[in-house]
Structure 1
């Protein structure tokens, strides 16, 4: 059944950025500002939760998309097209992380059609599509989806006719390295690597004799990095999975305009490819690497740019492989221009079986050592409350001193360059069984405390939370069909502004016991808003008499019912509120505010999910009323109100009140959310249409990664009420609330 036209109440978060960059001409069809030389002009920003979108100018402007665990960073632009015409969409992806980014088109073949392309590897990408005979407008989008945290940059988005030559050379999208199947013939042992150059390596712990100290473990989705003990000492073992890359990285200080050599020993006994490389040696998005799926010593030479003082060295075994590789003795040294030695590879395979067996790179033994702390009260997590005074039972990765214990509480303090994580393999589980997880956490300075369970679950479960008060987080997960263990991790990701704290971690089979309410009772949710009448205030707490209730804020302070926005050199100060009512079409409103201060970078603005944008520069001055008039578009749309003092601007904006009055004909799906109680007996034999005065056919979602409830799943047939639920594998025409696909 095709989806009916209806008004969505999903509110997208739209960040307005005020940047003006030098114009640059770009040959496209009707797409505007695809090179971002004019900041975000003509683009609509749709960043959910705490995801960020901004234009950066590192030699060449581009849009930087920074997603979060729960937020997607996205920009869109409506573009006029010719019906029945073939087009080509192309863009450049600059990525120095494992985050994926995509660009695509919506609405080219009907309202709900969508095509996209992208990856997590730098390169030029393109897709071709043909508009339907009744399509005259499409939506172009670029996004970095949630459940990632590293930023990616997109630039030079072009929309051209498919039969026209590309404006600039378009190399094919980078292909993943093919995975060779393991050979059944005997495996040649790795040759002894040549002796390292006597000069000191710039890398910390390149021989892995101190486990993973000095390295950041950024393995994902089941990929695993660990040290093993061999005949020559410790070495690094990277074990990728079908979905996850095993990877480490380390930031290293270097000299500008200097030649360097990166070298390492690689052992691959089952055909998996392993790589090492350098990012940032020739600009922010530069990357080079070397590697193979045969054993030997690998060498890579590079020269740093004149303005480069730091690079990132990375080691990885890419996903869609499952056999491990071993890396050891990785060195970074000034090469003084001397030529790189020829790579040392094994000789042709001899028919005589080798005398020396390859290093042991079989999967690790998951049997818990006898000295592990015991499990207590059915909790499958060992040393779950950290009361032993150490990290017995846990594995730590991250900088020295980044994980500490005090009074039975674990404190993780990431640095700007390094993530700190503790993890524990939970063993002895039953396949295809439900388990429940809980943890208590808090953080300082709005840092995000991350946690999750993966590597053995049917679906990986991860989450994060922030706040200086202790809070408990819970979720359930199911083990995979052949899994008897999972990986539990607690983490503070690199760049967090403050420390995070964890306590009382628990995993049990089945359900957890309900939480006992506190003595003061549970916090109550705010009452839902009722539909306003003409002349009534649409903003909640518009005079700040209830503090900052109803407002989302960054770097905002309140005193005596007055809010002050004080930006930093790196972050803007904002006060934001989403209007819950959809504004009627072609209607003029006045957004008013009583302010003082202001100056360069101070703005009052409104933005809608369907393209409405209006803003007003607030000049420096004494207390006065400023007014921003705006007119809605041809359809109903929800809007966001924002006052902002932009980062690094000299002014401070003080706000006494904000007002946006209803004009009449506003809309909300539940105009009277708290109905008057009634003693009438409810009876309905479903022999006719549902009475909207008695039944609410819900179009709503209550958080989480799901499509909520939509009217299309409600139907009357043969005197029966049919309610449908569509799962993750549903492929029909019904689309969830807010256009979600699940």
Structure 2
């Protein structure tokens, strides 16, 4: 007599009777789905949009496979590469990936709850970053991104994943980054901007010094309310129902000299029609070392003191602190720093 069959039937019935066991298995299978497209960058940048054409794919170094992302921050651009995907409301997701470089960030925005990001200050070899979030009750799309930091060189990313319940609509992409941003008709209080049309865009947003100041339905806009003899940095993004693109490459414009009066920003003299603007990294030292403010070449017309640093990986708060002498042994004293600012302004420079 075969006594194993009743025992097997009893064990099967017992397992099915355990409350929540079937639902747990189903949820676990759903959570195993990776809703990102081309997270290993084996298909180039397909599915990804990188700001200011900052990203490319390389064959070395890679974490796995044959390709990885390499993006290089330049000027006021932090080399953000992003992808917008469809997700399920009220669901938990895990974002993970491998990165190399200094000050590399991995995050998600548009979650409908608390947007998240994680970062590493220094990863000379591949380092895994991971964070989790829960979508809001009406959230159907989330944007995943990675970016570097200003003046810290190229970073690498590979094997990015967003694990959780798949969305119903598949991957949805915001428009590409606008190209060809130019400025014209510069006056003491206004600048006319124009750029190339982006396929699939339903509108555009204009940014001044990193802050959105205007929306446009076409490929041009005039920004008003500016201050005479002042340098401004302009960028533009493209918008559609899926979201907003990364910011374009920046165009720096100096408004013309107004009527009479002083120039509180940088001495009594106005700036030339074509001004040289530079960022002086006064808060840290990198491969180029530390440059004292008094040693900045006279060819610089505008000197932007940089950079602010995050106070924590997730707060979004930043602060500016001058480079300590432990890291910058040739840094000037506070008194000499202030004196150099006054000397540059007296020479007609803006600091």
State TM-score, norm by structure 2: 0.43
Larger radius of gyration: 1
State TM-score, norm by structure 1: 0.22
Larger relative helix fraction: 2
Q: Which gives a bigger RCO, structure 1 or 2 (Cα 8 Å, sep 6+)? A: 2
